[in-house]
Structure 1
């Protein structure tokens, strides 16, 4: 039995809660990664998660969290962010919950790899065929060229990227460039360095000087320090898979955008699903209806979008 309510609940010999909004007593609470929209607001119960996610959650939430294991759950690299996990739940049936995933090679991961399962619960953030990303190296090359052009014009460059995951990906991708960032990103970098990650970025100077390349949180526009660089004429870019939409720069109030994403694109979602070869697929988040339809029509696999309150027993009879 699978249903969407307080995360994704899976009954497979026992009860599991995948990325619950609140941890629940007397069930297995599974937390896939350290982004706030996947971390429970209540952490009073022990969670099954990776060592890195545990450290990130404690650092970002500012609380102590008990970490545990479950013999019936395998943690698999999701390729999304450092420490991100998919969960293979072993019971009467094998259920694979991807959480957010990315199958492309990253600085911290070779990318998520499919495993056989009876049921697949897969994210569908970019589950429309218009979202097929260009090769990563092509995007990174364009980012480097843009920053160099800005410097040649005496302009600072600001890449806006999520504090955890995307910011580190940009820092790693631009290795060899002198990079600066702000406190929130440096805090996450400090946690990841304990696990052996090399992330070369320094604290942004208090006053603008020579043209700088800056990696900053998307919400950093409100940072008083960053405002000094904006006033000095810094050029700005959003780094997001949504850069495939022409309207992103206008919506984000940036000069340009680059389609570097922590998520799988449409074709990668389809290829991953085909390789898992499940009996049934449940899609959630983003374009869940569109992806489910294409999985049915193009792959010939039963698929339905998982909606809140939707209860299904079909795969557990």
Structure 2
């Protein structure tokens, strides 16, 4: 989308890219992003990135701006803009609870809020990351007890490294795919290291498989996703999203992605001025 001509995870002359997942890739004369997002994005695409540190004031086009950690994956960020008629905060993909391999999210006060709604209905209520971690380890230990080698299907960027780190903490070795390992090497440049990678690791990590085929998986295969059997999600669930809105205290909320229509309606029921927008929307404030 564009706000006052500035791209937010959308191509424009001056644009902001919140993180390095391909569905948020953008093009522009200058792409503003964190250093980690730049390095991770360059695994798959080119483009001129201007690195911005969290908390440092800079200008994007004619507007003052500042990045805040989004908690979704390494380097993910939200952006606060100072516009003509007030301040705006765009969350990008975000997470309230702290993950092991992402910076702890922060949510500044703003007059306007654009918030993702990937899981913006009450049916999406996830365990905390630590609770999900316990379930993951229990699944793996049961497989070991039965003489099985677990296979985990994960998003190769972000979720895979989170799972690798969890297993590293618990002393479990992994055999990741080549693409997963390539991303992990970038993570290591930013201080997130993995000491559990082995050619014949105890747990196999493969790139994400659609939850639509969950029923075809063996008992020792598991999709790790907010949509999968083990809900270790790097997105905020419904209640996390509500907490973020309450933290930012906006006068107006725009919801985008996923269940944007439903979440906007729920927020209106909670007393917020809210409306859904599409990812290609043009917003003027």
Partner of 1:238: 223
Q: In structure 1, how many angstroms separate the alpha carbons of the residues matched to 2:28 and 2:279?
A: 24
2:140 is the counterpart of 1:157: no
In the alignment, which of 239, 262, 266 is matched to residue 294 of structure 1?
Answer: 266
Q: How many residues align?
A: 267
Do the aligned residues in 2 keep the contact of 1:80 with 1:262 (CA within 8 Å)?
yes
Gaps in structure 2 of 5+ consecutive residues: 53-57, 211-216
Q: What are the equivalent positions in structure 2 for 1:30-41 lying under 5 Å apart?
A: 30-40=16-26
Match of 2:82 in 1: 90
Counterpart Cα distance in 2 of 1:195 and 1:32: 17
CA contact (8 A) 1:100 1:123 kept: yes
From the CA coordinates, give the structure whose radius of gyration is larger.
Answer: 1
- Show the 5 A alignment for 1:200-211: 200-202=195-197, 204-205=199-200
> 1:18 — aligned with what?
8
CA displacement at 1:309 relative to structure 2: 6.6
Query: What does residue 181 of structure 2 align with?
Result: 186
Q: For 1:239 and 1:82, how far apart are their aligned partners in 2?
A: 18
SS at 1:155 equivalent: coil
Task: Using the TM superposition, give the Cα deviation of residue 212 of structure 1 relative to its aligned residue in structure 2, in angstroms.
Answer: 2.3
The structural deviation recorded for 1:172 is: 1.3
1:87 Cα offset (Å): 0.5
CA offsets per residue over residues 57-111 of structure 1, 9 Å max, x none?
A: 11232x3533255421101000001000001011221110111000101113453
Unaligned runs of 5+ in 1: 1-7, 206-210, 221-229, 244-256
- Single out whichever of 143-152 and 81-90 deviates more from structure 2: 143-152
**Any conservation in 1 of the 2:140–2:150 contact (CA below 8 Å)?**
yes
| SS of residue matched to 1:154 | coil
Measured at CA, do residues 267 and 192 of structure 1 come closer, stay the same or move farther in structure 2, by a change above 3 Å? same
Match among 33, 37, 55 for residue 53 of structure 1: 37
- SS of the aligned residue for 2:107 comes to coil
After TM superposition, give the deviation of residue 185 of structure 1 in Å: 0.7
Superposition pairs of residues 214-253 of structure 1, within 5 angstroms: 214-218=204-208, 235-243=220-228
Structure 2 CA distance for partners of 1:53 and 1:310, relative to 1, 3 Å? closer
Task: Identify the residue that residue 118 of structure 1 maps to in structure 2.
Answer: 111
Distance 1:178 1:308 in 2: 40
TM-score normalised by L of structure 1? 0.78
Cα 1:110/1:19, change in 2 over 3 Å: closer
Task: Choose the corresponding residue for 2:120, options 120, 127, 135.
Answer: 127
Corresponding residue number in structure 1 for 2:278: 307
Contact 2:156 / 2:180 at 8 angstroms: preserved in 1? yes
Name the CA distance, whole Å, in 2 between partners of 1:310 and 1:67.
Answer: 24
Give the structure 2 partner of residue 197 of structure 1.
192
